[in-house]
Amino acid sequence: MFPLQISPSLLICPLALCLSGLQVHAQSYPSKPIRVISEYVAGNGGDVFSRQILSSISAQIGQAIVVENKGGSGGLVAVDAARRAPADGYTLLLASQNVPVTRRFLSKSEPLDPFTDLTPIGALWRTSLVLAVNPAFTSKNLSELVDYAKTHAGKLSYSTTGIGTQGHFAGANFANITGTQLLHVPYNDNRLITDVISGELPMTIGIISMVAPHVKAGRLRLIASAGQKRLEMFPDVPTVTELMPTFEPPPTWTALFAPPGLPKSVLDKISSSVVKGLSAPELKAKAAGDGFDLIGNSPEDFATQIKKDIEIAGRLVKTAKIEPTD
């Protein structure tokens, strides 16, 4: 039996062909419409704004972007669908911080790893949480609200969209820093706003886009922003951190991801289109008017942000004393 001899050229050629294929793919990408699986329910505020952003990105990348709404389970349905798709750049994920960051602390299930189960592309925008009260409520500013909470232990209630939400984290952090006891009242519908307007509850902690119309109409009054900076639409309203420097604003972003293993050349092309798309002047004006902060960071910077936000979320969940479920 003769020994098997393999020419070095036979070993090199398949690799060369593979690399050549990757280069051709990168040069031709995208050659067809791109599907974006979104965790947002069709027609809600996050969905409407994300479609405007994706339209701007579509113009930069040179292909149509088709949104497929898969709301449910706090974003898990969308994430599970996207992470199993081919890593060819034609299926992307639009997701909030819920599954990549906070869910690991709220569920007993094995946590998703945003770096091995997904490919982070970049954060698109950030929204701000606000503390808003009934106009007749006695406290006129944040200092007075703290004083009221201290003299009415366990009686100052606030509404949020649910247990383990960003509003809940903000309220628990506020109470921990000030040494007060607040009563958290979780809702799963828009009564979290209407019950404050009617006077059933004195305060809500929610995203600015839900609260702003009622503030402008005089049905609610802003006490403070629980975000990272003052709001452009309400520049006279201070942030919580101005009075309490140790207050940590909960992560409140929406971002683009891809399935794991996305080729770097395709990642770079998508990232470049995202950054350029978010720089459109009309989009910036729309974002400011709706209470959103556009981000558009690089994949590397976004990865750093995710790691930092996981640390913050861990501290906030511990402060809120939330035990993981299921």
Radius of gyration of the chain (CA): 23
Highest CATH level, class, for 129-243? alpha beta
pTM of the complete model: 0.88
Q: CATH code for 32-126+252-320?
A: 3.40.190.150
Own/partner long-range contacts of 64-70 (Cβ < 8 Å, ≥24 apart): 64/33, 64/34, 65/33, 65/34, 65/35, 65/36, 66/33, 66/34, 66/35, 66/36, 67/36, 67/38, 67/94, 68/35, 68/36, 68/37, 68/38, 69/38, 69/40, 69/41, 69/42, 70/37, 70/38, 70/39
Q: Do domains 32-126+252-320 and 129-243 have the same CATH topology?
A: yes
Q: Do 97 and 235 contact (CB within 8 A), yes or no?
A: no
Predicted local confidence at residue 1, as pLDDT: 40
Which residues are registered as beta bridge partners of 292? 127
Q: Where do the domains of the chain lie?
A: 32-126+252-320, 129-243
Predicted local confidence at residue 26, as pLDDT: 57
Residues 323, 91: Cα–Cα separation, whole Å: 34
Q: Do 259 and 90 contact (CB within 8 A), yes or no?
A: no
Q: From first to last of its 326 residues, what are the pLDDT tens digits of the chain?
A: 434 343 443 344 454 444 444 454 556 999 999 999 999 999 988 899 999 999 999 999 999 999 999 998 889 999 999 999 999 999 999 999 999 999 999 999 889 999 999 999 999 999 999 999 999 999 999 999 999 999 999 999 999 999 999 999 999 999 999 999 999 999 988 899 999 999 999 999 999 999 999 999 999 999 999 998 999 999 999 999 999 999 999 999 999 999 999 999 999 999 999 999 999 999 999 998 888 999 999 999 999 999 999 999 999 999 999 888 86
Residues 26, 4: Cα–Cα separation, whole Å: 37
ω before 8 within 30° of 0 (cis)? no
